[in-house]
Amino acid sequence: MKKNAHRINQVRLNQFLKVLLMFKFICILVLVSSLQAFSKGYGQTRINVNFQNVSLKKALKEIEKKSDYRFLYNDDMLLKNDMPASLNTKDASLEEVMKIVLGNTNLNYTLSDNNLVILTEKGKAMAPGSINGKVTDDAGLPMPGVTVKVKGTNVSAQTDLQGRYSINIPDANTDGVILVFSFIGYASQEVPVSGNSLINVQLKAASNSLNEVIVVGYGTQKKENLTGSVAVVNMKDAGKRVTPDVARALQG
């Protein structure tokens, strides 16, 4: 009796082990198949574009619209290499597209992180550098939301809540690179990089903005004396609004 019970338990154990091994085998197959599919699809965004005899800059803009790629370039560099571009592709790779678009130019491209395509002139090495800093107002308070842009390029960044920013410069030689700091209501400021990796800037309120007279619910004040937010309403635009409520028509 005990022998029969032992045999039954042994058979059940063997069956359980077989099922467990089969389950493990299936899991391994699924994992391998998923990894293969991921490796084939990763970094291979297919591009479908159709344009004829457009400028190089417009061609790059069209590729950006129809794909996940974003281009980093210098406007002057594009102007020197501006050749009419024509392209009609379906499910093409980035390599195939760039080979045609840059075929008659003196430009190379490098695919960086996050599908960022960096254009450089042939024979010039790409050595990106990072510039960091902080933007404050004339009272020394941090300014969030300030736009920081590399002059003459589409490279830009914004300051965070602490007024800090970080921006990448694609050129190794930063002697001629200028950063432009701009914010609504403040005078824009241009700062040459000149090899510096840390640039702190203090923006000053635009004089014409400070002298504006603002109508408030309890009288009139100069804009520079107000601590709250201010909305500007164009009376021509307000007159075009179809609403019986005057207050709504004056909303900014």
pLDDT, tens digit, 9 for 90 and up, residues 17-70: 676 677 766 767 666 555 544 444 444 578 888 889 899 889 999 998 888 888
Q: What are phi and psi of 238, to 5 degrees?
A: -65, -35
Q: Name the CATH architecture for the domain at 47-121.
A: 3-Layer(bab) Sandwich (3.55)
What would the pLDDT profile of 191-236 be if each residue is shown by its tens digit? 998 778 889 999 999 876 555 555 555 555 555 555 554 555 555 5
CA angle centred on 181, ends 178 and 187, rounded to 5°: 120
Using CB atoms within 10 A of its CB, is residue 124 exposed (0-12), middle (13-18) or buried (19+)? middle
Under CATH, to which class is 129-202 assigned? mainly beta
31: left (phi over 0), alpha (psi -120 to 50) or beta: alpha
Residue 71, number of CB atoms within 10 A of its CB:
18
**pTM, to two decimals:** 0.39
Task: Answer with the residue of higher pLDDT: 193 or 251.
Answer: 193
For the chain, the average pLDDT equals: 75
Q: Specify the pLDDT at position 171.
A: 63
Q: How far is CA 110 from CA 46, 113, 168, in A?
A: 17, 10, 15
